[in-house]
Chains A and B, each alone.
Chain A
Amino acid sequence: EAQVTQNPRYLITVTGKKLTVTCSQNMNHEYMSWYRQDPGLGLRQIYYSMNVEVTDKGDVPEGYKVSRKEKRNFPLILESPSPNQTSLYFCASSSGTLQKRHFGPGTRLTVT
């Protein structure tokens, strides 16, 4: 089944404790991206990657890092999480930038 998977689905952590949210897709898509979703602000793009070893900042990249060492994986790294990064995070992939994005199920992160 074609899908985007994210882990963990739920995470509660403390300020400053490094964490990684994994994202994997099995559709051989070149394009992958991360979004955060907050009430009243909608979906905002954090980072995106057009292919292996190619990453670019989205609209809200501060406090986040990504890497794209393999085509199927695009982890989101929070080196020192802060409470304002409490949010619902979605990973998405597509076969190109002008193609429909397939979204993962979301990761709900709480930073206390």
Chain B
Amino acid sequence: GESVGLHLPTLSVQEGDNSIINCAYSNSASDYFIWYKQESGKGPQFIIDIRSNMDKRQGQRVTVLLNKTVKHLSLQIAATQPGDSAVYFCAEKEGGKLIFGQGTELSVKP
């Protein structure tokens, strides 16, 4: 999950396994959440979003789950591939701003 510190949380998975990346958000009034993927040397890339009136949303190989009771967001990646290796950020919308978590580094072992 997301945490404060100089080192990113890391998650290492075997190719083909499912990955679950967790994120705790801070503002119970946030109404929109996004997951981004950032590969080395590139800008963040949108993966999937979810509004607060939903608790689950599915995309291609990805699912986002939202638990507003405990202010928790998760990203599930099915059949993880080497190309999924990256840093993953959750972000919550507060007014006109997006507040990002610090990110989790996903490493996929062949």
Instruction: Tell me the bound Cα distance from A56 to B96 in angstroms.
Output: 9
Are B42 and A105 interface neighbours, CB within 8 A? yes
B89 interface neighbour in A39, A43, A97, Cβ under 8 Å: A43
Interface bin, chain A: 20 to 34
Interface bin, chain B: 20 to 34
In the complex, identify which listed stretch (A13-21, A44-52, A68-76, A78-86) lies at the interface while the others stay far away.
Answer: A44-52
Are B100 and A100 interface neighbours, CB within 8 A? no
Flag A53-69 by CB within 8 Å of B: 1 or 0 each: 00010110000000000
**B61 contacts the other chain (CB 8 A):** no
**In the assembled complex, which residues on chain B have CB atoms less than 8 Å from the CB atom of A35?**
100
**In the assembled complex, which residues on chain B have CB atoms less than 8 Å from the CB atom of A102?**
46
Instruction: Tell me the bound Cα distance from A33 to B44 in angstroms.
Output: 13
**In the assembled complex, which residues on chain B have CB atoms less than 8 Å from the CB atom of A90?**
43-44
Are B32 and A98 interface neighbours, CB within 8 A? yes
Q: How far is the CB of A91 from chain B (nearest CB, A)?
A: 9
- A100-B34 contact, Cβ under 8 Å, with A48-B97, A90-B44: yes
- A48-B44 contact, Cβ under 8 Å, with A42-B103, A100-B49, A101-B34: no
- Please name 28 pairs of A and B residues whose Cβ atoms are closer than 8 Å in the assembled complex, sorted by A: A4-B43, A31-B96, A39-B6, A40-B4, A40-B5, A40-B7, A42-B101, A42-B102, A42-B103, A43-B44, A43-B89, A45-B98, A45-B99, A58-B97, A92-B43, A97-B93, A98-B31, A98-B51, A98-B93, A101-B44, A101-B46, A101-B98, A103-B36, A103-B45, A104-B43, A105-B42, A105-B43, A106-B41
**CB-based closest 3 A-B pairs:** A103-B43, A42-B102, A43-B100
